[in-house]
């Protein structure tokens, strides 16, 4: 049982990281559909850095930086050149798939040491829980730290409130004197960093090698997760575990011979997302939509 729960956690972490990053960026009004591309670049960056520098911890750094690099390309075009976010995000994934394929070519066939597990003093000795929660790798701890930070940041800090204001009504935020563009740049790059680290988790922990397109659609799931979580950070943990849990449950079910078609099981998270979205929207529509009101809309600062 332990082993299965650990597997669920491991498979959820890339989703969780990419989703929390996208959440922050969407809160500021930027819909970045290039998550898949940013994750890929994080994966290739991390693997390259570890091969070059030898230490897996550089992989985390490089993954984050690669994600930021992709996010800043997205920012230049959508925020400064005001291109359409949906189209540019799709373009970013095409671009990143090409670039990572190219950059990854020399890395093909190489393998790296995995990120070590860190046992937290005393806590790791608690039966069951200790093994599951306190013998994880740095990225796992980091991802929880980021969720806590995001919750606190959005709710209680001034920059966080400004960021939300920018996402809800960029014109008002601008007229009060905040720089909409700077804030969106920051939020998008933060999103890129998280997606990059999420992508980096794949070669650093899950399967230490590089192959083209190895994220295999996880960036798109992250987008679904943000919605599932209804833009509330801690719910991403729940959502990611449900997605991860269903993925693993479907595999376990097969190994044990449960008679449910795997495609039907795989559909569940997406249907659940739609239902969750419907429920929150139904509840919220009377007051105010929970979706950032300026989501996906370019901001023209001279208006």
Min dist. Cβ of residue 148 to other proteins (A): 25
What is the token pair recorded at 289?
Answer: 């939509």
User: Can you tell me whether residue 150 is helix, strand or coil?
Assistant: helix
3-class DSSP state for residue 135?
strand
Q: Name the phi and psi angles at 211, rounded to 5.
A: -145, 155
Distances (CA, A) of 182 to 82, 178, 265: 14, 9, 42
* Residues 79-118 interacting with other proteins (rule: CB under 8 A): 81-84, 86-88, 90-92, 94-99, 101-102, 105, 108-109, 111, 114
Q: Which two tokens stand for residue 71?
A: 């996010």
Is 128 a binding residue for other proteins by CB under 8 A? The answer is no
SS3 298: coil
Binding characters for other proteins, 204-233, by CB under 8 A (x = yes):
--xxxx-xx-xxx-x-x--xx--x------
Q: What is the DSSP string of 154-201?
A: HHHSHHHHHHHHHHH-HHHHHHHT--HHHHHHHHHHHHHHHHHHHHHH
With 0-12 / 13-18 / 19 or more C-beta atoms within 10 angstroms meaning exposed / middle / buried, residue 105 is exposed
Residues contacting other proteins: total by CB under 8 A: 80
Single out the segment in contact with other proteins by CB under 8 A; choices: 125-133, 147-155, 163-171, 295-303: 295-303
Closest to other proteins by CB, 118 vs 251, is 251
Q: Give Dmax over CA atoms of the chain in angstroms.
A: 63
Query: Binding residue for other proteins (CB under 8 A) from 75, 188, 273, 294?
Result: 273
Given the rule CB under 8 A, which of 60-68, 123-131, 141-149, 200-208 is the region that contacts other proteins?
200-208
State which residue, 58 or 95, has the beta carbon closest to other proteins.
95
| Closer residue to other proteins, CB minimum distance, 120 or 265 | 265
Handedness of CA 256, 259, 262, 266 (dihedral sign): negative
Whole-angstrom CA distances from 274 to 31, 267, 277 are 18, 11, 5
User: Whose Cβ is closer to other proteins: residue 96's or residue 153's?
Assistant: 96
With beta carbons less than 8 A apart as the criterion, state whether 59 and 204 touch: yes
Output the smallest distance, CB 270 to other proteins, in A: 5
- CB nearer other proteins, residue 153 or residue 246: 246
Name the minimum Å distance from CB 110 to other proteins: 8
The 8-class DSSP code of residue 203 comes to: I
- Nearest approach, Cβ of residue 246 and other proteins (Å): 11
Q: Are 74 and 185 in contact (CB under 8 A)?
A: no
| Beta carbon nearer to other proteins, 116 or 159 | 116
Which CB sits closer to other proteins, 153 or 208?
A: 208
Interaction with other proteins in 41-70: which residues (CB under 8 A)?
none
Which of 55, 157, 172, 285 touches other proteins (CB under 8 A)? Answer: 285
Site for other proteins in 246-265 (CB under 8 A): 247-248, 251-252, 254-257, 259, 261-264
């Amino acid at each position: 049982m332990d082993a299965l729960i650990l597997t669920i956690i491991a498979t959820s972490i890339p989703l969780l990281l990419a989703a929390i990053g996208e959440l922050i960026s969407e809160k500021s009004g930027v819909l970045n559909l290039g998550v898949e591309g940013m994750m890929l670049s994080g994966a290739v960056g991390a693997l390259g850095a570890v091969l070059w520098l030898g230490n897996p911890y550089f992989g985390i750094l490089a993954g984050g930086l690669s994600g930021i690099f992709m996010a800043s390309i997205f920012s230049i075009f959508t925020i400064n050149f005001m291109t359409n976010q949906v189209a540019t995000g799709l373009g970013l994934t095409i671009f990143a798939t090409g670039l990572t394929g190219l950059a990854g070519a020399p890395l093909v066939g190489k393998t790296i040491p995995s990120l070590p597990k860190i046992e937290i003093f005393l806590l790791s000795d608690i039966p069951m829980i200790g093994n599951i929660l306190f013998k994880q790798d740095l990225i796992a701890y980091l991802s929880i730290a980021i969720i806590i930070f995001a919750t606190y940041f959005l709710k209680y800090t001034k920059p966080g409130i400004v960021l939300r204001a920018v996402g809800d009504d960029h014109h008002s935020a601008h007229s009060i004197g905040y720089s909409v563009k700077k804030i969106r740049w920051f939020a998008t790059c933060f999103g890129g960093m998280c997606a990059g680290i999420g992508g980096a988790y794949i070669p650093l922990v899950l399967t230490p090698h590089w192959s083209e397109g190895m994220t295999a659609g996880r960036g798109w799931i992250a987008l679904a997760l943000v919605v599932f979580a209804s833009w509330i950070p801690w719910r991403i943990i729940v959502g990611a575990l449900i997605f991860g849990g269903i993925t693993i449950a479907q595999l376990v079910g097969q190994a044990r011979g449960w008679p449910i078609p795997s495609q039907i099981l795989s559909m569940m998270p997406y249907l659940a997302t739609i239902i969750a979205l419907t429920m929150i929207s139904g509840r919220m529509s009377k007051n105010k939509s929970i979706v950032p009101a300026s989501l996906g809309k370019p901001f023209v600062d001279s208006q």
